[in-house]
Amino acid sequence: MDTIQFENEEIIEVVNSEAETESPSCSEESESCYQHLRQTGLQICTEDYPGQFNFDFFLDSTEISKKHWMYSAVFNKVYIDMNRVLPIQFQWKFDDIGLLGLKTLQIRALPIFANSEFQQLSIKRCPIHIMQDKLCDRKKLEHILWCEQSDAIYEQNHMSQKHSVIAIVHNSVPCSDFKTYNVLYKFMCKSSCSMSLSRRPIYVIFTLETLHGQVLGRKKISVKVCSCPRRDMLKEEEIEKKRINGVKAFNKRTTLIEDSEIPEKIPKTNSDNTEEKIYELPTLPIRGKHLYLSTLELLHGHFLGSAVREDRLIDSHPLISMLSDLISQVKSENNNHNNKADLENQLTQTN
Ligand SMILES: [Zn+2]
């Protein structure tokens, strides 16, 4: 085997013999030497990495049936019904790969939980859906992601227990400088399945790999498996739109206050007459002068701020001035007490 030093300091072993290239099993020694670069081990890398070969993939949006799957560019997310085909077109620069003598490559698809707190967990199908397919190929029974290629390899990493499915790349089509390769996938549990995804969001991480499992490129996509992909996508995008508008409105309001401009008084509608109603606080016993004073100061600041914001200084003046008087009264009591204590101290010292 030769080695080639990459710009990014990673080392790829170039396999010279066709026989070695075609053998999917490798020796224990090479197994362990590639362990740190594997995609299914304990440490999962989720960062997109086009690598030297510009690995990428596309979903053919003209194929969207409007029923079985949808793609949201806002979230880079696929919404798909269970047991429906998702066609993905992978692409990479083939000239460089050819020059390196890497004759056979594979594409791995690894579903993982999107939230980092769950990423150490393996994802497998729920017992109900496993039971429904108990007569199918045992190798893929527990896998949530199935590949429609007949020689797909279903793997479970012995360290992380993570399930992934591998499509061996056959006769990929050169398209200008790039090779494209189409793979069909199906999701075999819903996002709502308890004892499986349990409504937790997932990514599928696709990696272009050598037959030894060394990663040459990586790209992920978010996935939700649901009965109404179109409805769920529109709903989530609408919530996101409202959230962004809410943040914009909040920022605008903060800027106005920072610029000492008083925002426009919000017009009151007829149905909004609770805003004109007078409420009375119940008697509120407070133990201790310190807490009483801080409560008065808090209320004073609150009413003053609210009066300025809503342009109601004249209406609120009696309440604000009453609180201000009470604060002065408590403070003067403090001063009187301190003065009295000082006087007593002086008298003691004199005696
Ligand atoms: Zn299920």
Q: CA 156 to CA 122: how far, in whole Å?
A: 9
Q: What distance in angstroms lies between residue 130's CA and the mean position of ligand 1's atoms?
A: 7
Q: What percent of the chain has pLDDT over 90?
A: 39
Residue 337 marked as a ligand binder: no
pLDDT in tens, 4-53: 344 343 434 333 333 333 333 334 444 444 444 567 777 788 899 999 88
Q: What distance in angstroms lies between residue 156's CA and the mean position of ligand 1's atoms?
A: 18
Question: What are 110's strand-pairing partners?
Answer: 205
Return the beta strands (E) in 67-158 as ranges.
69-72, 77-80, 86-93, 105-113, 145-147, 153-156
Q: What distance in angstroms lies between residue 71's CA and the mean position of ligand 1's atoms?
A: 22
Q: What percent of the chain has pLDDT over 70?
A: 70
pLDDT in tens, 123-171: 999 999 999 998 888 999 999 999 999 999 999 999 889 999 999 998 7
Residue 49, judged by CB atoms within 10 A of its CB (0-12, 13-18, 19+), counts as middle
Q: How many CB atoms lie within 10 A of CB 37?
A: 18
Question: What are 106's strand-pairing partners?
Answer: 168, 209
pLDDT, position 187 = 98
Amino acid identity at 249: A
Q: What distance in angstroms lies between residue 340's CA and the mean position of ligand 1's atoms?
A: 78
pLDDT in tens, 234-281: 999 999 999 988 887 877 776 766 665 544 444 444 555 777 777 777
* Cα within 13 Å of Cα(140), Cβ side: 22
Q: CA 231 to CA 57: how far, in whole Å?
A: 25
Q: CA 88 to CA 148: how far, in whole Å?
A: 11
pLDDT, position 39 = 73
Specify the range with the lowest mean pLDDT, choosing from 105-114, 239-248, 261-270, 340-349: 261-270
pLDDT in tens, 206-234: 999 988 888 999 999 999 999 999 999 99
Q: How many CB atoms lie within 10 A of CB 192?
A: 15
Which range of 20-34, 103-117, 167-181, 284-298 scores highest in mean pLDDT? It is 103-117
Amino acid identity at 349: Q
Residue 180, judged by CB atoms within 10 A of its CB (0-12, 13-18, 19+), counts as middle
pTM for the whole structure: 0.62
Q: What distance in angstroms lies between residue 100's CA and the mean position of ligand 1's atoms?
A: 42
Let me know how many helices (H) and strands (E) the chain has, helices first.
7, 14
Q: What distance in angstroms lies between residue 186's CA and the mean position of ligand 1's atoms?
A: 13
Residue 147 marked as a ligand binder: no
Q: CA 262 to CA 312: how far, in whole Å?
A: 11
Q: What distance in angstroms lies between residue 158's CA and the mean position of ligand 1's atoms?
A: 23
Supply the DSSP string of 264-321, one letter for each residue.
PPPPPPGGGGGGTS---PPP----SHHHHHHHHHHHHHHHHHHHHHTT-HHHHHHHHH
Q: What distance in angstroms lies between residue 188's CA and the mean position of ligand 1's atoms?
A: 7
Residue 193 marked as a ligand binder: yes
Average pLDDT over residues 275-297: 82
Average pLDDT over residues 166-195: 87
Specify the range with the lowest mean pLDDT, choosing from 17-21, 105-109, 230-234, 288-292: 17-21
